[in-house]
A and B are shown apart, each in its own frame.
Chain A
Amino acid sequence: MSVTTERTTTIQCGDLPTRAINEAVRAAVASGSKVIHLMNPAARHNLGVALPEGVRLVIEGSAGYYAAGLNDGATVEVRGSAGWGAAESMRDGTVVIDGDAGNAVAASIRAGTVVVRGGASTRAGIAMKGGALVVAGDVGPMAGFMMQKGVIVVCGDAAGGVADSMYAGTVYVGGKASDLGADAVEAEFTADDHALVSGLLDRWRVPAPASFRKLVSGRKLWNFQRADLAVWKAAL
């Protein structure tokens, strides 16, 4: 995406508090700015919260909690790492994190795409309700926990409890995933799956691993059944 043909605003975060930075971002959006750079963000929390469609915000460094939280359609790029809950509850849009992501990246997003070029910590994609999360590196424990819809693509290894207690949705793991979560089952990686995953990886220029495993809900936790007492012992 070229920035030369669009109106660009550069905001020096300096000693400004979060509220003043976000007010400056909102003012830039209101005045028609389409591309906004935040310089020296110093890992402040709540940068670029709830920005609308048509805006591209580039955070030129690391961000704290809830970077691009409650995103309303904007494209937000973090040129560093992000703290907890990046892009949480996103309505739509795109969030790209060049570094690593803290706990609960893409928590409960309903649409849009989140790309993490490094690794992601615990519970990546928890309770996702749609959209896609792509992690180029490894993910911590319980990625995809209680996922409801959408797609998680993990190119590296997945730590213990991956895809735990999912209602629905799909987790693809390119690396090791030896300890699956409760009621996670492996499904056949079909041509459609291949097209979906490689489409995402190509689009975001994430190197693809040699193969993927596909994890889905075993649906044993959808409704209580006495036949599955061992499963429920851990889940109830």
Chain B
Amino acid sequence: MSTPSEPTTNAADPSPMQRSGTFTPGVIEDIQIKAELARYRIRGFGILRPRTWATFDDLTFVPGTLTRIPLEGYREKCATKTVLGTRFAKRPLELDIPLMVTGMSYGALSKNAKTALARGSKMAGTSTTTGDGGMLEVERAESAKLVCEVLPSRYGIDVRHLRRADALELTIGQGAKPGTGGLLLGSKVSDEIARIRDLPSGVDQRSPCRHPDFLGPDDMVIKIEELREATNWEIPIFVKMGASRVFDDVRLAAKAGADVVVVDGMEGGTGASPELLQEHTGIPTLAAVCEARAALEDVGLYGKVQLVIAGGLRHGSDCAKALALGADACYLGTALLIALNCNKPLYEDDYAAIGAAPYACHHCHTGRCPVGIATQDPALSARLEIDAAAERVANFFHALTSEVQVLARACGKSDVHHLEPEDLRALTFESSMITGLPLAGTNRVFGGGPGW
């Protein structure tokens, strides 16, 4: 739970009723919950505390005026085609748009939600991704393009699934909780999920954080070669990491032979994790994209190894700014769940029953998702109507694509991939330091930017 700041103390004359600025009501509640619980607190959704760090909101586009000429929305094309995995794969992943569905497991999500994401992504001309629970048959059937994750847990691992994938994603970690494995509480380990994952029903499943058969980047070179041999060098191999020491990690992943590097920032979501990891680990997505681009440039692979950015991306301007800073595509997760209905004011009594409310629900871990997304309960799952949900996913992708295009056209770009750092200015000192963009109004960069 977040701990909102309280009114400051009047130190000169404290009121008898003055609350502590250190031990706020939220902190007091947190301590007393842990005094009962005897372990770290677990919840879903992702980081909740107020955004006090530099984000994409701290940047603004500087569209064409006289120095650059904008494009007309009605007549002049702005291409969105996106190709990932041009380095080694015989069959790179070709998408109509630079926005994709990130990995979210069948287990964390209901079958209806997975199906709707697959169908909606196909309608929008893009890909979906499996998750920490193997490939779901209906997901493969409904997806035009499917990225199959190879995770430390190896739940549901099946070489025949790998061969039916359009790309493989070797997952080292995720942005919400780099350095730790997946978590699926017993309420969601239904008989079917248990069967797929080869687990006893109802266990609190804690996935390993390390792959069972390799440790560092030297071993990973061989692991990547194995995956290529198993898929006959046909499809791209992504390497996905939570944003941590991004500059070094991205250099290592690229040198290890990845076709595509995925960096998932601190604002990324999760179905269930220790709360303090969500709140206190990883680095922000804005910083991550800057470090990642600098890393690929450093090893001479920028433009050869594609970069996918993830982690709390919400709308077209987040995505357009990520593309301008160096990403080739964006992964969306939580935003798509919200498009499905997450946190929508429906079934409000059921939100209340799990201690949540619309717009303030982060109770994915309970398995009692009131809108049928993050649950394995058949009655709750049935609340998510697949056709309508798939259409919302497709609509949302179209909306975001149009937002990215309107920004790109305003900046005079006939292809969204032509967006570049020069199209942006920083609004704050910190974002100027992190991105290396000039602070608006000064034409100066405060700090070196990603100058490693």
Contact = CB atoms under 8 A, between A and B. Distances in A.
Interface of A: 18-19, 22, 26, 45-46, 49-50, 64-66, 69-72, 84-85, 88-89, 91, 103-104, 107-108, 110, 123, 126-127, 129-130, 146, 148-149, 167-168, 222-224, 226, 229, 232, 236
B214 A70 contact: no
Residue in B38, B157, B163, B202 whose Cβ sees the most chain A Cβ within 10 Å: B157
Contacts of A223: 186, 202-204
B160 interface: yes
A88 B223 CA distance: 11
B360 interface: no
B198 interface: yes
B280 to A, nearest CB: 17
A130 B198 contact: yes
Contacts of A224: 39, 204
A222 B200 contact: yes
Contacts of B154: 89, 107-108, 127, 129
Contacts of A226: 38
B226 interface: yes
Interface residues of B, number: 34
B219 to A, nearest CB: 7
A85 B225 contact: no
B33 interface: no
A50 B230 CA distance: 5
Interface string B197-235: 111101111001000111000010011011001101100
Given A127-B153, A223-B204, A104 B199 contact: no
B225 A69 contact: no
A167 B200 contact: yes
Nearest to B224: A46
Contacts of B158: 91, 110
Contacts of B186: 222-223
B162 interface: yes
A129 B198 contact: yes
A70 B226 contact: yes
Contact of A46 (B38, B200, B208, B229): B229
B421 to A, nearest CB: 38
A167 B205 CA distance: 9
A130 B154 CA distance: 13
B138 interface: no
Contact of A108 (B199, B200, B212, B225): B212
A-B pairs, top 3 by smallest CB distance, nearest first, are: A85-B213, A129-B198, A50-B230
Given A89-B159, A123-B212, A146-B208, A65 B222 contact: yes
Given A103-B213, A223-B202, A89 B160 contact: no
A108 B223 CA distance: 15
A84 B214 contact: yes
Interface string B144-186: 0000000001110111101100000000000000000000001
Contacts of B225: 18, 45-46
B229 to A, nearest CB: 4
B373 to A, nearest CB: 24
Contact of A232 (B39, B197, B198, B212): B39
Nearest to A49: B229
Interface of B: 38-40, 153-155, 157-160, 162-163, 186, 197-200, 202-205, 208, 212-214, 219, 222-223, 225-226, 229-230, 232-233
Contacts of B162: 70
Nearest to B154: A108
B59 to A, nearest CB: 40
A84 B214 CA distance: 8
Contacts of A129: 154-155, 157, 198
A149 B222 contact: no
Given A88-B213, A148-B199, A229 B222 contact: no
B38 A88 contact: no
Contact of A88 (B212, B232, B233): B212
Contacts of A46: 222, 225-226, 229
Contacts of B159: 50, 70-72, 89, 91
Nearest to A17: B225
B153 A167 contact: no
B198 A236 contact: no
Nearest to A72: B159
A162 B202 CA distance: 24
Contacts of A69: 226, 230
Given A107-B213, A123-B212, A45 B222 contact: yes
A236 B226 contact: no
Residue in B213, B222, B225 whose Cβ sees the most chain A Cβ within 10 Å: B213
Given A127-B154, A167-B199, A222-B203, 18 more contacts: A18-B229, A45-B226, A69-B226, A70-B226, A71-B159, A108-B154, A110-B158, A129-B155, A146-B208, A149-B198, A168-B200, A222-B186, A222-B202, A222-B204, A223-B186, A223-B203, A224-B204, A236-B40
